[in-house]
Structure 1
Amino acid sequence: MQMNWILPTQIIMLPEEKDLHSHQYHQLVIGLKGQAEFEINDKSSIIYAGKVGVIPANYQHAFSSLFQAEVLVLNFPQFFGSNELANRVNDLFVDSGYYQLDAQIQNLIQLLVCEIQASRDDSLLNKACSDTIISLLHRHLIDENTDKIIKRLNVEVIDNFIAQNIGRKITIAQLSSTVFLGESQFYAIFKQELGITPHKYIVEKRLKFAKTLLETGQFTVGEIAQQTGFANQSAFSHAFMKHIGHSPSKHRQIHFIRN
């Protein structure tokens, strides 16, 4: 006996309070805006625009908004009749996981979301959108739990921008624009792929350059602080001590002793 498609496709703003629950149907959650913290059977991740959470039926899961999180939610029954759509649903929900959509399907989903928002009570349209998305996901999902993960950030472009502006103030907005991402999305992807915040990454680049200048012996500590983008010599010395473990002057002394 074939079970019909269930529950409407929904576009919702996630609450800030985390709610652990489960349900007897499969669920796809696709990030549209902002950021949200997700947990599916103890697997945690951050959902942002273009990121997908796959939640099989009866799996415990919870989510909470970190920054104005808006998501597209699609629900599917556990059992269909013997048809192609059923096979695709069953293949996708074998296990829970987090995935990244490629740019092509992200653009398509944005168009579908506009149609859904314009006709919220059109159940036929909702079902058509749901079926379209599930049919395309097999070719467009990038599994974050395999070696096939595709990095979304071009680190070389980011590094070049930092190097060219090392003596100036560098903002998240500037960095995100170099890779054509919004600030919140860039921040989340950056931290996920590089393991640190953009701010800490910039500081590390400044200090790496500062170490090179200190080892040449051509500039004073104050001049190096200015050339590497620190507000003043005090701020530079404080950051150097915190990250390197000794003062800039000590670093220069150590280098000269070794050479």
Structure 2
Amino acid sequence: MEHTLNNAFVTEVRRYEETDYCHSHAHHQIILPLCGSLELQVDGRSGKACALQGAIVPGNSRHTFRGVGNNQFVVVDLPIPLKADYWSDDLRRFLETPNFFGLDPGLYHYTQLVGAESCRHLPDSKFSIMLAEMLAELLAQRHSTAKAIRPTRRLGPALEYIGSHVDQRISVSKLAALSYLSIGRFHSAFREYTGCTPGQYITELRMQRGLALLQETAWPVSRVAAAVGYSSQAGFTHAFNRHFGFPPSRYHRQADTRTQRESSP
């Protein structure tokens, strides 16, 4: 079925200022984190888009928001109304209620792909829209039950702690205490909310932060390793290679090659 592109359907990477803003807009919005955090209050419901947690802002909902530190998000604006013969019932239900939801590692990887491709294309290009359509439907499918989309308030402090202490040793007992849960109950709640264990979540976040630093800075690998919680370069290199299938040094070789090309007459 041919899809007629709507001007309200936009996919782009955005940064938010550390200033309070309040408005509403006539389109649904999905906010997905790449780095940093965004404080939100939507129709009286407060939360954050941060680490591996996204947010839904339904169309015409009054909301306040404020960026925190260096931040970057994939933002998908979807038109109102969503065509019943094109979009799934799961997606329409997913977008109707303000919500803060967990991202499993697979969805986070796909979010990064959408973000990277959105930077190469116009926000309302057919290619950007195609990627965002798939992302929106995947999110709705993963969070299609009422139990899954209900925000887990107790995990909020633990998720914020992980995001702000990724360069330090993080113990599950500390996270459980922040959530006022036993370690066993915390493990169960965390896995239900994010789709992965606390250890997998922390590793994923460290790898993605490390990858971003390698891409965006000229830091040596040892400094990147320390910035994401590894006490040795060797330990970080081993984890990075196992996670992505290539060593972190690849980015330094690519940076050197670009520098040589740029300096050539």
Cα deviation digits, residues 54-98 of structure 1 (max 9, x gap): 111111111111221211111111213332415343111221111
CA distance in 1, matches of 2:62, 2:22: 7
Counterpart Cα distance in 1 of 2:15 and 2:177:
23
State the TM-score, normalized to the length of structure 1: 0.55
Looking at structure 1, the residues matched to 68 and 9 of structure 2 have their Cα atoms a distance apart, in angstroms, of 26
| Fraction of identical pairs, as percent | 19
1:71 & 1:192 partners in 2: Cα distance?
A: 29
User: 1:24 and 1:52, CA in 2 relative to 1: closer, same or farther beyond 3 A?
Assistant: same
Q: Where does 1:218-229 land on structure 2 (aligned, <5 Å)?
A: none
Task: Say which SS state the counterpart of residue 92 (structure 1) adopts.
Answer: helix
Q: Are the equivalent residues in 2 in contact too, given 1:3–1:80 (CA < 8 A)?
A: no
Mapping of residues 1-259 of structure 1, within 5 Å: 4-5=5-6, 6-85=8-87, 87-120=89-122, 123-141=125-143, 142-145=148-151, 173-176=167-170, 190=175, 194=179
RMSD: 3.6
Structure 2: unaligned runs, 5 residues or longer = 181-265
* Residue identity opposite 1:42 in structure 2: G
Q: How many angstroms does 1:41 deviate by?
A: 1.0
C-alpha spacing 1:64/1:99, structure 2 compared with 1 (3 Å): same
Runs of 4+ in 1 over 6 A off after TM superposition: 149-153
CA distance in 1, matches of 2:66, 2:79: 24
1:3-30 deviation digits (Å, cap 9, x = unpaired): 7432421111101111110011111111
Structure 1 pair 146/152, CA: closer, same or farther in 2 (3 Å)?
Answer: closer
CA contact (8 A) 1:3 1:79 kept: no
Secondary structure at 1:174's aligned position in 2? coil
TM-superposed deviation, 1:190: 5.0
Letter in 2 for 1:12: R
Q: Is the 8 A contact 1:31 1:48 kept in 2?
A: yes
Contact 2:91 2:141 in 1 (8 A): no
Cα distance in 2 between the residues matched to 1:192 and 1:124: 47
Output the amino acid matched with 1:78. I
**Structure 2-normalised TM-score?**
0.54
**Cα distance between partner residues in 2 of 1:117 and 1:194:** 37
2:200 — aligned with what?
none
Determine if contact 2:74/2:111 at 8 Å carries over to the other structure: no
* CA drift at 1:49: 2.9
Q: Tell me, what secondary structure is at the counterpart of 2:56? A: strand
Distance 2:119 2:51 in 1: 17
Q: Cα 1:81–1:8, aligned 2, differ >3 Å: closer, same or farther?
A: closer
